Amino acid sequence: MEKETCTFSYCEKPPVVEIETDLLIIGGGMSACGAAFEAVRWANPKGLKVTMVDKAATDRSGAVAMGLSAINTYIGENKVEDYVRYVRGDLMGIIREDLVYDLGRHVDNSVHLFEEWGLPIWKKGDDGFSLDGFQARDAGKAMLKDGGVPVRSGKWQIMINGESYKVIVAEAAKKALEINRQATGVAQNHFERVFIVKLYHDANDPKRVAAAAGFSVRENKIYIFKAKAILLGAGGAVNVFRPRSTREGQGRAWYPVWNAGSGYALGMQAGAELTMMENRFVPARFKDGYGPVGAWFLFFKAKATNALGEDYCATRLEETKKLYSPYAEKLGTAIRNHMMMLDMKEGKGPILMNTHTAMQELAKTMDAKRIKHLEAEAWEDFLDMCIGQAGLWACKNVEPDKEPSEIMPTEPYLLGSHAGCAGFWCSGPGDIPGTPEHYSWGYNRMSTVPGLFMMGDIVGASGHKFSSGSHAEGRIAAKAAIAFILDHADYKPTIKETPEAIAAELYAPYEIYEKYKTFSTDPYTNPHYIRPHMLQARLQKIADEYFGGISTWYMTSKTMLEEGLKQLELLKEDAARSAAANLHELMRAWENFHRILSVEAHARHILFREESRYPGYYYRGDFLAIDDKNWKCFVNSRYDAEKNTWELKKVPYVQIIPD
């Protein structure tokens, strides 16, 4: 089908608002809030403008929207070197150790700020309570930075009362932005419910990024932001694979449904180099509600077994070592999934989280009041961060102290700040001894595109940052971006695209719908267009069946990937005929396009890497083992959006921190 040009003959022409700023922050999640807070500190004395644009309302946007019950990265009494070793072990041996080390040495400061801003962090008390004194948080203990000792659920995790975590972090970011707005005299520097569709290169320097454009998801308006540097923190990609949830439950996924791959797609279209996009995350979570398991495993010391009561991490270890040693022994997240799946495939499921035995064990040392409190904490773990799971337990009459609950590996997600590492190849800090030249070529966290910085879920090869680490990384990147702006003080961003052309491109799905909607009796079925709902179903089917989703037990191969990529190319063509009946669908149409690009990168990387680096996340049936001899390296790629071509290459991995 031919590409449709929008002439606004059928749909209403939107007004175009042009904003000029120094630093543009895209996203409003943990990393973006950290970036706003830090950027203003350095921008204000120099009179620089900082602007933030989020597709949602920043108070509750991103992965932390519902809140959390633990901060997963707090170094505290541990060594930063050990943090690097732990991340390297969990991510199967290939990480950017300079980025991870850099994160580790800064992350605690963000946690201290959270506490200062009002986040309740559990402290150790001396009341003799057997769960490390977890009641003592009410007792007004010293703040962490003053020597207060957090209650740890694991070596790196600390417990919080985090229902309002995101609101607290957003408040500090919004306050900083307001201070900057007043200092620079601009009318507005925080834009919510504006969906960014595309980045644009500078008219005079085609390598450099100069602008971003998007549309309001609430009113008929297009925005063009011109900036001297852009800081991208739009999160990873959900709903690219067919989810386990079906029909009316399909909105439910583990990863937040509003992170639709924009983080990847925006950077990719600007030509930024990707790394480790073959990686994905498949969390094992409470079945159907996707409720968190961390507190159950780490804090309540619950054990997961198969239905026969066997510990699959023990019974399956020897056979797992045969293909995946020396990583199997580390029992990382992917490996634990792998062993669980071996049992499931043999019909030994359901896999059970034995909440009841864990609680009965803890109850042995407690009186009735404390047992009640313990039970409340178990429910609160869900109510803090995954309310739907509490609802599901309630409607299924689950009493966690009396019976176990089922856990299950989910559909795959693409992300780089949790137990995954798919993202962009970024310059590191450069000052860590042993850093090779190819790790550090410019400003910290700058991508291979000058002026385009990355943070959070989309920085590659440096997972396990989590909420605190993403905030800290936003701060690191923001400081570097301000330095970049100051070092290029004479630069004025200009783009060759006219506002009319940008508006026409962004609103094309609208025009297509309005032009053709009467060509059929049912506006959903039409020879001239495809609605976002249908396109998404096709995308998920292709990804699921060819790229190793749930329906093939995460299995794929060269031949399957090649066939899937062929079908994806056709889908990409059809995506140019997406039709949107309203602003919501316009967003859905562009989200789909971002998802397609993200999953294409994923599939191409899996195809290039001829081994199964992440068993339990995905398998190459034609290369089932890990092959350190040939593949202990990064896989990097670059997408040329104009030519629709890809370049992939191996990049040497350098170990900085000894074993």
Who contacts 584 (Cβ-Cβ below 8 Å, separation ≥6)? 217
Q: What contacts 24+ positions apart, CB below 8 Å, involve 621-630? A: 621/555, 621/556, 621/557, 621/560, 622/557, 622/558, 622/559, 624/323, 625/323, 625/324, 626/92, 626/323, 626/324, 626/327, 628/93
**Nearer CB in complex with ligand FAD: 103/328:** 103
Least distance from ligand FAD to the Cβ atom of residue 553, Å:
23
Tell me the Cα Rg of the chain. 24
Least distance from ligand FAD to the Cβ atom of residue 523, Å:
26
Least distance from ligand FAD to the Cβ atom of residue 234, Å:
4
* Among 49-57, 240-248, 482-490, 555-563, the segment contacting ligand FAD (CB under 6 A): 49-57
Q: Is 86 in the site for ligand FAD (CB under 6 A)?
A: no
Binding residue for ligand FAD, selected from 22, 49, 52, 62, defined by CB under 6 A: 62
Distances (CA, A) of 101 to 18, 98, 246, 258: 39, 5, 41, 30
**Nearer CB in complex with ligand FAD: 70/210:** 70
Distances (CA, A) of 535 to 5, 228, 555, 591, 620: 20, 36, 23, 11, 27
Instruction: Indicate the pairing of strand 405-409 with strand 423-424.
Output: unpaired
- Phi, psi at 94, each rounded to 5°: -125, 105
Q: Are 588 and 580 in contact, with CB atoms under 8 Å apart?
A: yes
Binding residue for ligand FAD, selected from 40, 64, 335, 503, defined by CB under 6 A: 64
Binding residue for ligand FAD, selected from 101, 134, 195, 264, defined by CB under 6 A: 195
Instruction: Taking each helix axis as running N to C, give the angle between helix 317-324 and helix 333-345, from 0 to 180 degrees, rounded to the nearest 10.
Output: 120
**Side-chain half-sphere exposure of 366, counting CA atoms within 13 A:** 20
Q: Are 12 and 220 in contact, with CB atoms under 8 Å apart?
A: yes
Q: Is 199 in the site for ligand FAD (CB under 6 A)?
A: no
- On the 0-12 / 13-18 / 19+ scale of CB atoms within 10 A, 655 is middle
Q: Are 558 and 622 in contact, with CB atoms under 8 Å apart?
A: yes
Q: Is 224 in the site for ligand FAD (CB under 6 A)?
A: no
Q: Is 543 in the site for ligand FAD (CB under 6 A)?
A: no
Q: How far is Cα 450 from Cα 427, in angstroms, rounded to an integer? A: 11
Binding residue for ligand FAD, selected from 39, 48, 56, 560, defined by CB under 6 A: 56
Least distance from ligand FAD to the Cβ atom of residue 428, Å:
18
Q: How far is Cα 475 from Cα 31, in angstroms, rounded to an integer? A: 7
> Footprint of ligand FAD on residues 360-419 (CB under 6 A)?
417-418
Q: How many residues bind ligand FAD (CB under 6 A)?
A: 41
What amino acid is encoded at 573 in this protein? E
Binding residue for ligand FAD, selected from 101, 156, 225, 255, defined by CB under 6 A: 255
Least distance from ligand FAD to the Cβ atom of residue 235, Å:
3
Binding residue for ligand FAD, selected from 114, 223, 254, 554, defined by CB under 6 A: 254
Q: Is 532 in the site for ligand FAD (CB under 6 A)?
A: no
Residue 119 tokens, joined: 């986040």
- Phi, psi at 539, each rounded to 5°: -60, -45
**Nearer CB in complex with ligand FAD: 7/582:** 582
* Among 118-126, 176-184, 229-237, 391-399, the segment contacting ligand FAD (CB under 6 A): 229-237
Distances (CA, A) of 197 to 193, 429, 580: 13, 30, 15
Least distance from ligand FAD to the Cβ atom of residue 259, Å:
5
Distances (CA, A) of 572 to 185, 323, 549, 557, 561: 43, 37, 20, 22, 16
- On the 0-12 / 13-18 / 19+ scale of CB atoms within 10 A, 272 is buried
**Nearer CB in complex with ligand FAD: 306/405:** 405
Least distance from ligand FAD to the Cβ atom of residue 156, Å:
9
Q: Is 234 in the site for ligand FAD (CB under 6 A)?
A: yes
Binding residue for ligand FAD, selected from 29, 89, 291, 451, defined by CB under 6 A: 29
Q: Is 54 in the site for ligand FAD (CB under 6 A)?
A: yes
Residue of closest CB approach to ligand FAD: 29
One character per residue 573-592, x = contact with ligand FAD (rule: CB under 6 A): --------------------
**Nearer CB in complex with ligand FAD: 70/512:** 70
Cα of first residue to Cα of last residue in the chain, in angstroms, is 56
Least distance from ligand FAD to the Cβ atom of residue 52, Å:
9
Least distance from ligand FAD to the Cβ atom of residue 238, Å:
8
Least distance from ligand FAD to the Cβ atom of residue 572, Å:
18
Q: Is 515 in the site for ligand FAD (CB under 6 A)?
A: no
H helix intervals, 325-465: 333-345, 355-363, 368-385, 387-395
**Nearer CB in complex with ligand FAD: 64/229:** 64
Residue 177 tokens, joined: 């932005």
Binding residue for ligand FAD, selected from 36, 70, 121, 626, defined by CB under 6 A: 70
**Nearer CB in complex with ligand FAD: 228/475:** 475
**Nearer CB in complex with ligand FAD: 166/609:** 166
Instruction: Taking each helix axis as running N to C, give the angle between helix 583-608 and helix 508-516, from 0 to 180 degrees, rounded to the nearest 10.
Output: 120
Q: Is 291 in the site for ligand FAD (CB under 6 A)?
A: no
Q: Is 467 in the site for ligand FAD (CB under 6 A)?
A: yes
Q: Are 428 and 99 in contact, with CB atoms under 8 Å apart?
A: yes
Distances (CA, A) of 152 to 73, 110, 121, 353, 400: 11, 17, 10, 21, 22
* Residues at the site binding ligand FAD, with contacts judged by CB under 6 A: 26-32, 53-56, 61-64, 68, 70-72, 195-196, 214, 233-235, 254-256, 258-259, 262, 294, 417-418, 456-457, 465-468, 470
